């Protein structure tokens, strides 16, 4: 794994270059930037910790993935994918129906959305 250490900036007046204007302000900024560097390093470490590569099928549209999985002999995974996507589409339709019913209710009652 590559070294993800980001450079840390000086956080005391002794560490600053002589003649630095407004050292209190610079120290405050450096502390904030060092904290951000910590967060970025943590994020990069968590992203790079997986040893599993992204497969060809993982980046395909679900319908293409369904066909691909069936063609490579993984019909069970293909059917599970189709069921999940069908359930998702039905949930989206139900949500749209609920929103339309709500709008119709407001209209019938003489109310408006704000």
| CA separation for the pair 50, 45 (Å, rounded) | 10
- Number of C-alpha atoms within 13 angstroms, CB side, residue 69? 20
Whether the predicted pLDDT of 2 surpasses 90? no
Higher pLDDT among residues 42 and 31, named by residue: 31
Whether the predicted pLDDT of 51 surpasses 70? no
Residues in the chain: 114
Whether the predicted pLDDT of 1 surpasses 60? no
* Residue 73, SS3 per DSSP: coil
Share of the chain above pLDDT 90, in %: 28
pLDDT (mean) for 11-34: 90
DSSP3 helix / strand / coil % (the chain, rounded to 5): 65, 0, 35
Whether the predicted pLDDT of 67 surpasses 70? yes
Whose tokens are 């994020």? That residue is: 43
Rg of the chain over Cα atoms, rounded to whole angstroms, equals 27
Q: Which range, of 10-14, 78-82, 95-99, averages the lowest pLDDT? A: 95-99
Q: What pLDDT band is residue 29 in, cutting at 50, 70 and 90? A: very high
pLDDT (mean) for 11-26: 89
Q: What pLDDT band is residue 52 in, cutting at 50, 70 and 90? A: low
């Amino acid at each position: 794994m590559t070294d993800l250490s980001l450079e840390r900036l000086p956080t005391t007046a002794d560490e600053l270059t002589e003649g630095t204007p407004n050292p209190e302000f610079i120290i405050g900024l450096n502390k904030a930037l060092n904290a951000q560097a910590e967060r970025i390093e943590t994020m990069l470490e968590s992203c790079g910790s997986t040893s599993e590569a992204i497969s060809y099928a993982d980046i395909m549209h679900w319908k293409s993935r369904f066909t691909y999985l069936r063609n490579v002999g993984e019909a069970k995974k293909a059917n599970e994918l189709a069921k999940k996507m069908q359930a998702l589409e039905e949930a989206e339709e139900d949500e749209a129906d609920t929103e339309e019913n709500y709008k119709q209710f407001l209209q019938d009652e003489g109310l408006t959305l704000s």
